[in-house]
């Protein structure tokens, strides 16, 4: 498998947000989305929280599904200043909840992300090249079928500061 390093990308994203001055960075992602990466996004967030002061650690939002009422209750309780989550539903939910808007971004490539948003460039060019090299190597060494010990090549992305990259507004 050749894939983006979701765990490493999430840690990089969080570290860069903190370096830019953001505090009270929340995490809200339905389990159905997080489970597609074996929990890489939430695991990275939980790990990252161990490196910040306890008073700044926020309750993780990891609901069973997409639930606007659950999000609104979590948002009012946690009071994040920045949310790591899926922008499309969360920005609409924040607007409808009539709470002070906060930036929402996700540390992975999303079709919905605007070009000027803070993000991680997952480097799909490098992922595709690594996939081709891996396949070429397998063919040259007559490797066929599912390997007994599967290999994973994960590519760490790069931080792209956007309109929220220079610190809190």
Closest listed residue to residue 97, CA positions, set 67, 117, 58? 67
Residue-wise pLDDT tens digits, 39-63: 999 999 999 999 999 999 999 999 9
Model confidence at 166, pLDDT cuts 50, 70, 90, reads very low
Q: Are 82 and 18 in contact (CB under 8 A)?
A: no
Contact 17, 82 (CB under 8 A): yes
Full-model pTM: 0.85
Of all residues in the chain, what percent carry a pLDDT higher than 90?
A: 60
Backbone phi and psi for residue 49, each to the nearest 5 degrees, phi listed first: -60, -25
Determine phi and psi for 25, rounding to 5 degrees.
Answer: -85, 115
**pLDDT over threshold 80, residue 129:** yes
Q: How far apart are CA 37 and CA 54, in angstroms?
A: 27
pLDDT, tens digit (0-9, with 9 covering 90-100), for 70-100: 999 999 999 999 999 988 899 899 999 988 8
């Amino acid at each position: 498998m050749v894939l983006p390093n979701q765990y490493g990308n999430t840690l990089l994203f969080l570290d860069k947000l903190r370096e830019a001055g953001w505090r009270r960075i929340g995490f809200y992602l339905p389990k159905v989305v997080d489970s597609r990466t074996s929990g890489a996004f939430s695991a990275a967030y939980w790990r990252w929280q161990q490196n910040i002061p306890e008073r700044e650690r926020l309750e993780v939002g990891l609901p069973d599904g997409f639930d606007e009422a659950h999000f609104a209750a979590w948002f009012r309780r946690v009071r994040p200043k920045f949310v790591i989550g899926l922008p499309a539903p969360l920005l609409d939910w924040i607007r409808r909840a009539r709470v002070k808007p906060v930036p929402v971004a996700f540390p992975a490539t999303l079709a919905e992300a605007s070009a000027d948003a803070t993000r991680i460039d997952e480097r799909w060019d490098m992922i595709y090249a690594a996939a081709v090299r891996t396949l070429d190597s397998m063919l040259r060494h007559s490797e066929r079928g599912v390997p007994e010990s599967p290999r994973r090549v994960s590519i760490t992305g790069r931080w792209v500061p956007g309109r929220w990259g220079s610190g809190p507004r």
